Chain A
């Protein structure tokens, strides 16, 4: 599979403006993370970790690029920026070649789990309501596509397509409560 691009492209010849981003976070230090999982939970995580391990000799190692996927598969939903943060902001070329073992992964995952409010069903619906121009429980599919592809941590066209398949009605509208249930049931 082609590697997913996780980093934002660097700006081309633009003059450097003041950073609009939130204040810089301190570097991630795994040693400062207190592991609060039970032994049982850790065994469960190991199973999932192993699923991503492609070494035939079962070395329990995954690539940096897979880290984000694994964290999400286990039930969290960090932003790409948060993932890069716990990985220690690796270089693009390292993403597919550098590997980490389970003990390195665990504190990263714990840190993400401890992060503030992840967003509930209501938050999600609220977020979509922003685009509900007519206040009737639907958003325009086209607008949603545009937003997802141009704002925040942009999605690729093929990803947007995958997300929206079968969600729009004949008028190109999406009932967003149903949409959210669809996403969260995954």
Chain B
């Protein structure tokens, strides 16, 4: 990429080397003074940068730990399905998770998604859509969303069906050209931040034939207008199919949506038809193109590449088979023998399960009836060990060679070839959507996220050369300035959701690319108030938010932390050195954070360089849980895993009532506790279930339940009563707010 060099003025140069000559009025003291100020300024900036980096680190490591967490959970269920037959009541639960698109013809799908019966009532004041959509419709839609209206579910379904029909005929790789002297605009992750999309449209213009766009994935999750963003993007796609291009991101995945908020958003906004909408979106996701190429020279995809990336293979995969990229696709052929063994509730998923089994089973020739059956109750630590081994072999870190070997050892399977191509194809797709760049050469599995790779500058060189490309544009990682170059400016990360972690945490940006293929970057920040903050104020604000989130994690791991501290305190003095504190923190939380640096923010009092850890916990100003709930360590555990719990609840709440029965609650908990290897008695679970049934009607409201297990800063609560307004009335105990069940101010990414 050619750089643009500005030549320094000769007069300026003179002032450096001959200061006295150039500025006769400035003496040597002035010179010295200037140097002193400059040195101090640079130190000031560097210290702020350090704090900013630290804060960033906190947010990012928690974000990725959450992703990894979810992938582990998903894999665990996968494994369970293959090898264990839980008691029949739990069986349905697990089957649900994998109840993906049943094998159906498209015509049947169209009947299922029939929107024609849905009537739009007279009093509906939102936008009306006419199909085929016109530019006016699309513009009106944008305007409607800007004024916070909601599109009626009939139009939503209609729009989605039309989108699906269009996407089906698109290739895996969009080929875009800048001929006709067009400049193309490329946007990165939006994550439901409608205000950012509107800002981009305001600055750059709505999509049209003169203003083509590429949207590089992650349109949904986290922000609260994911639905509106999708609807806008799809509307413009329908109106300008040659000028609007969408790439799939790792969040265009229904499993990920369960955890990161999109599912919740849809079900909340569309109580009657939400489920259908989600189902249709599952299909749409799988039909989204995987990449775009501009002028055959610039490659745009969401995550990145790996040492095996091959665009020719990618162009030919059946992309719609990857409903969720977290899971290998259903196998093409199935063997008859496997089907007969377990017909009752597993039928739909037979093919998939067989596929997964073939990757995890080392001893060939074992047919299903002989598989040893364990009930969930008797799972022991050997499960985890086995699972670790399976994961290692079945997971993303699998190299192509290993995969081939483990596959071919299963004699039940069809000839290895189909499985081999399947595995290869899957890896191509996963790598494209999940990988991150790294500064050193090579290609290693991306263990931080749990999917894809880390790839180095040498891989960039190779892949670009192989396909005669000159630039790779990707997204997937939040960047403070909204963009970042790396790999010798051959890779450009673009991120379009400003204020992603916290208000003021980062800018968003988009790219304009003309026929010269030199990227021009435009930055913005959605919230006006943050632009006027000084650098230190902005850093400080984000920092406080990160520390709050971190303190919540500390609470969630309190027992483990105390045990770890006690190991360093064999004489039970109640004190440990700060060094040991840091070591213990990392060993329990495993977030890879610079604890020694954070120490000054987290620890207020030390005695002779030692910390009294019990009183330290009290100082963190985290509320003690309501003493009505007797099992306080259970509470802590539940808090720690509440994201997983929520995910599972949403899966089992099949009628989207928001309610689950005690029995379902118990089943969920048993499943989760075997995954986590926690030993909690049935009695404790039952007690807990009953105590959170606030209206005593025999069922638990999911939202209420989740609300109950979030934390607040004691000091914050005293300051602002607005926190309490988010509390369910049942959770409030009249005069003493400190006795309430935990009420939240937690950031939304948890």
Contacts and interface: CB of A to CB of B under 8 A. Distances in A.
Interface of A: 1-2, 8-9, 11-12, 14, 17, 20, 40, 43-44, 47-48, 50-52, 54-59, 61, 63, 68-73, 75-80, 97, 99, 119, 123-124, 126-128, 130-131, 144, 147-148, 150-155, 159, 162-163, 165-166, 183-184, 186
11 contacts: A12-B7, A51-B50, A57-B444, A57-B454, A71-B46, A77-B42, A78-B39, A144-B37, A147-B34, A150-B22, A151-B34
A10 to B, nearest CB: 9
A97 B486 CA distance: 11
Interface of B is mostly: helix
Contacts of B48: 186
Nearest to A45: B596
B34 A20 contact: no
Given A51-B53, A72-B46, A17 B35 contact: no
A68 B488 CA distance: 21
B170 interface: no
B534 interface: yes
B54 interface: yes
Counting from the closest, the 6 A-B pairs by CB-CB distance are A127-B33, A72-B46, A186-B44, A73-B50, A151-B34, A152-B34
Contacts of A55: 438-440
A153 B38 contact: yes
B33 A72 contact: no
A20 to B, nearest CB: 6
A165 B44 contact: no
B26 A77 contact: no
Interface in B619-652: none
Contacts of B53: 51-52
A130 B15 CA distance: 19
Contact of A69 (B46, B481, B536): B46
Contacts of A165: 534-535
Contacts of A162: 45, 535
A14 B12 CA distance: 12
A124 B37 contact: yes
Q: Which of under 10, 10 to 19, 20 to 34, or 35 or more describes the interface residues of B?
A: 35 or more
B571 to A, nearest CB: 21
Given A51-B57, A76-B43, A150 B50 contact: no
A148 to B, nearest CB: 6
A44 B10 CA distance: 44
* Most interface-central of B17, B38, B436 (chain A CB within 10 A): B38
A159 B37 CA distance: 12
B438 A153 contact: no
A154 B485 CA distance: 26
A91 to B, nearest CB: 15
B616 interface: no
Interface of B: 7-8, 10, 12-19, 22-23, 26-27, 29-50, 53-54, 57, 436, 438-440, 444, 446, 448, 454, 480-481, 484-485, 488, 534-536, 579, 582, 592, 594-597
A58 B592 CA distance: 10
Contact of B448 (A47, A56, A126): A56
A151 B15 contact: yes
Contacts of B35: 79, 151-153
Contacts of B595: 47
A118 to B, nearest CB: 8
Contact of A1 (B7, B444, B484, B535): B484
Contacts of B7: 12
Given A47-B597, A69-B46, A56 B17 contact: no
Contacts of A151: 15, 19, 23, 26, 30-31, 34-35
Given A127-B37, A162-B535, 4 more contacts: A150-B12, A153-B39, A155-B38, A186-B45
Contacts of A56: 436, 438, 444, 446, 448, 454
Contacts of A155: 38, 41
A130 B644 CA distance: 63
A52 B41 CA distance: 20
Contacts of A68: 42, 46
Contacts of B454: 56-57
Given A12-B8, A130-B30, A186 B39 contact: no
Contacts of B19: 151
A178 to B, nearest CB: 14
Given A12-B10, A47-B595, A20 B535 contact: no
B438 A8 contact: no
A99 B441 CA distance: 13
Contacts of A123: 36
A103 B594 CA distance: 18
